[in-house]
Structure 1
Amino acid sequence: MEIRKAERKKAKLRLGIAAPSGAGKTYSALLLAFGLGGKVGLIDTEHGSGDLYAHLGDYDIIGIEAPYTVAKYLQAIKAFEQAGYNVVIIDSLSHAWAGDGGLLDKQGKIADSGKQNGFAAWRTITPEHNSLVEAMLRSPCHIIATMRAKQEYVLETGANGKQTPKKVGLAPVQRDGMEYEFTVMLDVDMNHVASASKDRTGLFDGAYFKVTPETGTKLLGWLDTGTPPEVFDDAVFEGNQVAMLDASTLDELQAAFAVAYKYAKRFNDAEALTAATTVYNGRKAELTEEHA
């Protein structure tokens, strides 16, 4: 275990926007993305609504239709990453949870099939949900995820004393606790006014505002303040593998493997972990045979 000084590093944005239908989730997400700069990609699950804002600026779209499986979201995120996009907007993330073919739908079908009860079915669903969260958190892109808010009507008394119904937004339509995965969580009301229900940046504490490109620019300034994050160095990892191949005893091999494994684990690089394990097993077999 290593004790080190706390140090804030440069980071990519992880931002959620929750709002009722018609409050401007897509509009706000695009304006904020333009403020972050670079190529903007939008994953559209809203039946082409993403195209309605083409006049705002330059962005590209990947459309997802039902069933809204986690696999489709992962493929779309990966496609934008591989194409060098700077910002990925997921519009909306709610479909992965509560849409046709989403995780709630899948859980219900597993339970209805009789193969597992409702509680046991979550053992199948939870890893899928976690894989989507992991993809967003580890993406090299800025991620903006919109979520529908559960809707409720309240009676509001006007200046004339009459009561009229008003639509308000409540919790986002997503698995409980999803908002904690984001650096910033914005709630947008029907007047298109945003407030932060969670804000690790401290930029929006107590503020009520309309999202503009300047909001994204402001966030970018905060994100770029800090030390550069450490990046995976292929040369270092290759040196670790050479050390395993050069090991002449099992003790030397295990020591070299521990170094290689720890380095790959630091970056959560699955391919590197697999490569290190493969080299270790191969050299272990050779040494075992040599000393037999």
Structure 2
Amino acid sequence: MKLHKAERHQVKLRIGLSGPSGFGKTYSALLLAYGITNDWSKIAVIDTENKSASLYSHLGDFNVLSLEEPFAPERYNKAIKLCEDSGMEIIIVDSISHEWQGKGGCLELHEQLGGRFQDWSRITPRHNSFIDAIIQSSCHIITTSRRKVDYSLDKDGNGKTKVMKLGTKEITREGFEYELTVNFELLNDNHLVSASKDRTGLFSGKPEFIINSTTGQKLISWCNQGVSIDSIIQEINTCNSQEELKLIYAKYPNLSSELYPIIVTRKEILDTLSNQLISNNEIIKNLKTDKHEFSIK
């Protein structure tokens, strides 16, 4: 445990888009993704919405992975891993609501176990593995989620119970928004959005707007500020001792998982060079000994 200097490194974006059906979540997500990567072929859509992503194939040659029921967390995890292994830069999970409320999703799995409170101890770790797959992904992730009207039962001034409309609520487990870099809420079928959460500061307090590729460009520009992974890798590759490698590893604690395999590879190279140097020194030493013995004879 120790303090370290706060720095903004290059990060992977975690963006949420939520809204009722027909408000343009998929279309907005695709425009956002293209603005980030500027390459349709590096975008993959994990489509749980009855192949709705294919309706926008005219936009560009993006990739689609159709995910059918059951919508268990593990199937989402497998789909995300497949996209990562295929060299995608951006994964659009459209939508995450099925993982929670869809056929074979967490709520149904909980009911199948009996629907008791203690049964969540078996479902929560599975849901958390899905959240971890998003958070720890090597790709930029855009998630979409449906919204539903949220109600409460309150008493009016006369003591009568009334149903009160509170607005809309995302169909996923409460707290997911806290994991996101930016969360956009689609407000109407004109595709206007506002940012309900914004760690970038780019959209907070700004008027409602329509997402387009420029929105993605702003986000990737913000994302690329700070120390880049490439520059740290160059720093690692110039190290000539294990002590130097340890210093770099300690210098960037927030990137430890990404840097660890690179540091291990550099250490193996240094170990190989060290062993070769020892071997060469032994050969030279033996040659000198042999020459000395020969001259004596």
TM-score range, shorter chain: 0.7 to 0.9
Q: Report the secondary structure of 2:114's partner residue.
A: helix
Deviations 1:180-206 (A, max 9, x none): 110000000222101000000000012
Matched, 1:74 2:72: no
Query: Aligned equivalents of 1:267 and 1:96: distance in 2?
Result: 30
Residue 71 of structure 2 aligns with an amino acid whose one-letter code is Y
Unaligned ranges ≥5, structure 1: 113-117, 154-167, 241-259, 273-292
- Partner residue in 2 for 1:30: 30
Distance 1:265 1:6, change over 3 A: closer
Question: Shift of residue 266 of structure 1?
Answer: 7.0
Q: CA RMSD in A?
A: 3.0
Question: Shift of residue 151 of structure 1?
Answer: 3.4
Question: Shift of residue 170 of structure 1?
Answer: 1.3
Question: Shift of residue 111 of structure 1?
Answer: 1.4
Deviations 1:117-150 (A, max 9, x none): x111111111111111111111111100000011
Query: Aligned equivalents of 2:236 and 2:51: distance in 1?
Result: 41
Matched, 1:103 2:106: yes
Q: Mapping of 1:213-224 within 5 angstroms?
A: 213-224=213-224
Give the number of aligned pairs: 232
Q: Is the 8 A contact 1:20 1:169 kept in 2?
A: no
Query: Aligned equivalents of 2:168 and 2:228: distance in 1?
Result: 37
Residue 180 of structure 1 aligns with an amino acid whose one-letter code is Y
- Partner residue in 2 for 1:211: 211
Question: Shift of residue 267 of structure 1?
Answer: 3.5
Query: Aligned equivalents of 2:150 and 2:192: distance in 1?
Result: 18
Residue 4 of structure 2 aligns with an amino acid whose one-letter code is R
Moved runs in structure 1, 4+ residues, more than 6 A? 263-266
Q: Is the 8 A contact 1:41 1:59 kept in 2?
A: yes
Identity %: 44
Q: Mapping of 1:41-56 within 5 angstroms?
A: 41-56=44-59
Which residue, out of 165, 173, 176, partners 1:175?
Answer: 173
Residue 221 of structure 1 aligns with an amino acid whose one-letter code is S
Unaligned ranges ≥5, structure 2: 152-165, 243-248, 262-297
Q: Report the secondary structure of 1:111's partner residue.
A: coil
Matched, 1:145 2:143: yes
Residue 80 of structure 1 aligns with an amino acid whose one-letter code is C
Q: Report the secondary structure of 2:21's partner residue.
A: coil
Distance 1:127 1:152, change over 3 A: closer
